[in-house]
């Protein structure tokens, strides 16, 4: 990890799941983790089932508030921008 990331809050043992940083106006820069890589690591490294990994992730990782530097988790899409599903909390773009 480069010098830029030395002050950012990290999850122990998940450096290989980091995909970058997240920046928003007026907010601290935080690390961004690939959600699917984190879940895959929980299953392969820790021997969890998919259900156990999801439950652990929801409660202990994405559900853990560690202050303003709490990392974010992204879901990466491998499809054209026009076909990306919208999260339930946002509204689709209207043309």
Q: CA 49: distance to chain centroid? A: 19
> Does residue 14 sit within a domain?
yes
Largest distance between two CA atoms of the chain: 45
> Does residue 41 sit within a domain?
yes
Q: Is the pLDDT of residue 93 over 80?
A: no
pLDDT in tens, 12-71: 999 999 999 999 999 999 999 999 999 999 999 999 999 999 999 999 999 999 999 999
Split into its structural domains, the chain has a count of 1
> Does residue 66 sit within a domain?
yes
> Does residue 53 sit within a domain?
yes
Question: What is the value of pTM for the model shown?
Answer: 0.77
Alpha-carbon distance of 39 to 43, in angstroms, equals: 6
* Sign of the dihedral defined by the CA atoms of residues 48, 65, 38, 3, in that order: negative
pLDDT reported for residue 66: 93
Domain around 65 = 3-83
Q: Is the pLDDT of residue 91 over 70?
A: no
């Amino acid at each position: 990890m480069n010098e830029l990331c030395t002050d950012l809050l990290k999850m122990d043992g998940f450096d290989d799941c980091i995909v970058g940083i997240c920046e928003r106006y007026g907010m601290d820069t935080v690390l961004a983790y690939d959600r699917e890589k984190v879940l895959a690591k929980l299953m392969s490294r820790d021997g969890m089932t998919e259900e156990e990994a999801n439950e652990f992730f929801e409660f202990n990782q994405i559900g853990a508030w560690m202050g303003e530097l709490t990392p974010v988790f992204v879901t990466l899409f491998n499809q054209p921008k026009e076909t990306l599903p919208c999260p339930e909390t946002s509204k689709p773009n209207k043309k």
